[in-house]
Amino acid sequence: MSQTAIPFEFERYLQSQISAGTGPDMNEMIFAYIPGLDASQPIDRNQGLPPSNQWVHRQNIDQLGKMGDNALAYSVVILGDQPAFTFNAIFLRDKNVAGSCGFVVHKAQETKELGSALTRTLVMEYNGAAALAGVTVDAGTWQIDFSARLQGMDDDHRLACLDNYGQVGFVSGFDVVQQADPNKYKITSGVAYVGGLRAVLANDVLQTVSTKPNALWLDVYRDGTSLSKWENYVSIIASGSAKSDYVDSQGRFHYVAKIADIATDGSVVDRRKMGGLPAHLAAEDPHPQYGKKEVFNFSYHFQRMAILLVPFAEAGDRFDASFLTGRLTFSRGSKLHYERLLDVELSVKSSYNGTNYTMLVYQEGWALRFCTLEYEGQKWLALFDTALAWNAQDAAVVFTGQRGVLASGYNPENQLKVITYDTTEPTVPPTNPEVKETIVSLAGRNIKDSQGNLYYSKSFPPQLEDVPLLTASLEELNSQKISKNTFVGQVVEFSIDRPRSGFVKAQRIELLRSNYPKLWGMVEIAGNFTDQATIDSDPFAYAGHWGTGDGVTTFTTPDYHLGHFKRGAKQGVEFAEAAHHAIEFHNHQLPTTGSTPSSIVTYGINDSYWNGVDHFNPYPATGRFAVTADKGADDGGQIRGNFDTETRPDALSTFFYIYHGEEAA
C-alpha cells in the first residue's frame, strides 16, 4: 500500500508564492530510494525532500491538468532508454525554489528496468488548487479519466440496489419516538436504501421539532475526493413541506425518503416503507422488468381443478398469437404460508399454425398435465390436476412472468382462470386420456378423502357445524392443529384469580414486546393504542386503551379493574371510550316533619340556586346532599332528603384476563 501527504513545507511555499504575486509551480518530480522506509506508516508532514544522495531519478513534469477545481494531476513519462533505478518514494517540488516540497509519496519498492518505459501521475489536492496554479486544462484531455469509470461502477451498484429494494426500503431501525420533552424525538439507528444508496445511521439521533405539524425525512448522498474513500452521507431533516430528490450546489445527488409525520398533538405517524430481503421477496411485483407477479386463490375442496392457459389453436386456425411464459408456484392454505406443494415453469403459445406447450416441474405436488377443454363454448389449453391422492383444496397460486390473449373472440380475463369440477366433467376430452379417467363427479355431501376429510364444493359448501373453530375447545384446537392466534387479544372473565398459561391479567400490566410478539403485533396497529403519558394523566378515561409503555421495549395492558361496566359501543361513541357514572334528571317530593305532615313540597335536583330559607346543603362527611326547607315559625318543620351520588345495577365483580397466545405465561 502507499501513503501520501502534503508537507507543511508546501504551506510555507504557497504563502510565499502568493505574497510574491505568483502561484505554485510544481515543475519537477523526484524519485528516491530511502533505506528502511516503512510504506505502511503515515507520513510525518514535517518531512521535506530527502537528502540528494537518496535521489535516484529526477525529471521535469511532462503533463499538468486539473481534475475538478481542487485537484491537479502531474505526469511524467520515463523512456525505456533511461538507466534502471529502484525507488520507494516520489516527491513534487519547484526546482526554482530551494528546499521546496509540495507532495510526498511513500510506496512499496519498485524498479524501473532498462528498456521499459515508466509513467507516473501524482494527484495533489487542496482548496482552489486549479485557480491558484492557473491551470485550465482538464486532465481528461491527455490521460485516461479513471474517475469517470469509477463513478460509473458506483452508479451501476446503486441501480442494482434500486432494482432489489425499490426507491425506498427501510431494512431496520429509524423508529421515531417522542421524548419527555415534547419537542424532542429520538430516531433509532438503522439501515435503509434510498434511491439505491445504502443509508446507515450508526447511532441514535435526537431531533428537535418545535413546529407542528411537521415531518422527518432521511437525506442521503454519496461523496468523496479523488484520493479518498467515497461514502454515503446520511442526515435527518425536519420539514413540513414535501421533499423530493435534488442536486445541491456542489452537483451532488441527494435522495430523500419520509420517515414519519409529526401531528399537531405531537404524535408520530410511521411513514417508512419497509424493505430488506423478506419484504422484497414478499412484494407482489419486486421486478416489474422481468414480468408481473400475480396472486390468485381458490377455496373449498374439489375433486378436480383446471387452470386455463391460452386459446387452443389447431393447424389452420387463424388466431393471433397468444402466450404465457413464466413460473407457477402453488402453496397450501394462502400466500402467507408458503408451504410449497408445486413449482413449475411454463412456456405455451398458440397461433394460426397450432399450439406449442412445455412444462418443467421443479417440485412435484399435484400431478398437473396439459389438456384441452371447453369454457364458455371456446376451446382452451389448460392444466389439469390428475392425482387420485389429492383433492384440489385451499391453495394460493403465484404466477410470475408475462402473458397475453390476442385470439379474436376470447376473453383475456379468462386466462389463468381456475375452474373447479364437482358434479360435471369437461365437454371436450383431455388430450391425455389418463386425465379424463381421474375426473370424479362429486354428487353428494358425504364424500371423504383417505384421511376422512369431507370434500366441499360450490354445490355442497361447508355448514356451520363443519367449521370446528366455532365449537372446538382449546384442547380440540390443539389436537386439530387449528391456530389459536385467532383469540389473541380476547378478554376473558374467570371466577378464580389464578395465573394461567396463555393469559395475562387485564390490570394495566407492563409487558416486554419481545416476550409477547403475537399480542404486540396486534396492539401496535390497534386504534386504542395510546401514548403512555396520556393514559397516566387520566387512568379512568383511558382504562380501555393499550399503552406505549417505555416507548421502545414495553407496552401496557388495558385496566378492566377500575370499576367500569362493559357495554357495546353505540353509534357516536368511540371504541374503548370510558364514561363516568351519571344520574338522570328527576324530581323528588318530600313530606314535611313539622305540624302539617300531610303537606308536600317539591324540590328539583337542579334547583341549586334557591333564595330565602330554601336551599341545598351538602353533608361534607358523607358526600350526600340534604334538601332543607324551613317552613317558618308557624309550621316549625323541616324537610330533609338524602341522595346517593352513584346509580348502578346489581353487580358482581370478577377477574378479567387477556389471551396473549404465547406458550409460557
For the segment 97-111, what is each residue's pLDDT rounded down to a tens digit? 998 999 999 999 999
d(CA 322, CA 404): 6
- With a pLDDT cut of 70, the percent of the chain lying above it is 68
| DSSP code at position 333 | S
d(CA 398, CA 77): 62
d(CA 662, CA 161): 38
String of DSSP letters for 120-171? EEEEEE-TTHHHHHT--SBGGGTS--HHHHHHHHHHHHHHHHHHHH-SEEEE
Residue 664, pLDDT above cutoff 90? no
Residue 201, pLDDT above cutoff 90? yes
Residue 406, pLDDT above cutoff 60? yes
Beta bridge partners of 557: none
pLDDT at 185: 95
- With a pLDDT cut of 90, the percent of the chain lying above it is 33
- Residue-wise pLDDT for 362-378, tens only, equals 766 667 778 887 777 78
* Rounded mean pLDDT, 395-418: 86
pLDDT at 96: 93
Q: What SS3 class is residue 6? A: coil
Closest CA to 59 of 84, 27, 105: 27
pLDDT at 418: 80
Please, what is the average pLDDT of the chain?
76
Residue 317, pLDDT above cutoff 70? yes
Dihedrals φ, ψ of 518, to 5°? Answer: -65, -50
The larger pLDDT score, comparing residue 589 to residue 521, is at 521
Residue 628, pLDDT above cutoff 60? no
pLDDT at 508: 92
- pTM of the shown model: 0.33
Q: What are the cell numbers at 56?
A: 535516484
Closest CA to 74 of 59, 87, 61: 61
C-alpha pair distances (Å), 206 with each of 178, 181, 185, 260, 271? 10, 11, 6, 14, 18
Residue 74, pLDDT above cutoff 70? yes
The widest CA-to-CA distance across the chain, in whole angstroms, is 143
Categorize the per-residue pLDDT at 162 as very low, low, confident or very high, splitting at 50, 70 and 90. confident
| DSSP code at position 15 | H
* Rounded mean pLDDT, 51-58: 95
pLDDT at 642: 46
- Residue-wise pLDDT for 165-183, tens only, equals 888 989 889 999 999 999 9
- Residue-wise pLDDT for 510-543, tens only, equals 999 988 988 998 888 888 899 999 999 999 989 8
Closest CA to 421 of 490, 374, 468: 374
In 265-367, beta strands by DSSP E:
268-270, 292-302, 304-311, 322-332, 340-351, 354-363
Question: Is the distance from CB of 185 to CB of 179 less than 8 angstroms?
Answer: yes
Residue 64, pLDDT above cutoff 80? yes
Q: Residue ranges of the alpha helices (H) in 275-371?
A: 276-282
Residue 287, pLDDT above cutoff 70? no
d(CA 346, CA 368): 12
For the ranges 206-210, 228-232, 484-488, the lowest mean pLDDT is seen at: 484-488
Question: Is the distance from CB of 530 to CB of 547 less than 8 angstroms?
Answer: yes
Closest CA to 502 of 658, 344, 287, 327: 658
C-alpha pair distances (Å), 627 with each of 482, 606, 632, 643, 646? 63, 12, 16, 9, 18
Dihedrals φ, ψ of 207, to 5°? Answer: -110, 135
**What is the Cα 187 distance to its own chain's centre?**
15
Q: Residue ranges of the alpha helices (H) in 168-296?
A: 276-282
d(CA 639, CA 625): 12
Closest CA to 556 of 575, 529, 576, 518: 529
pLDDT at 76: 92
pLDDT at 528: 87
pLDDT at 525: 83
Burial class of 615 by CB neighbour count within 10 A (0 to 12, 13 to 18, 19+): middle
Closest CA to 298 of 330, 320, 274: 330
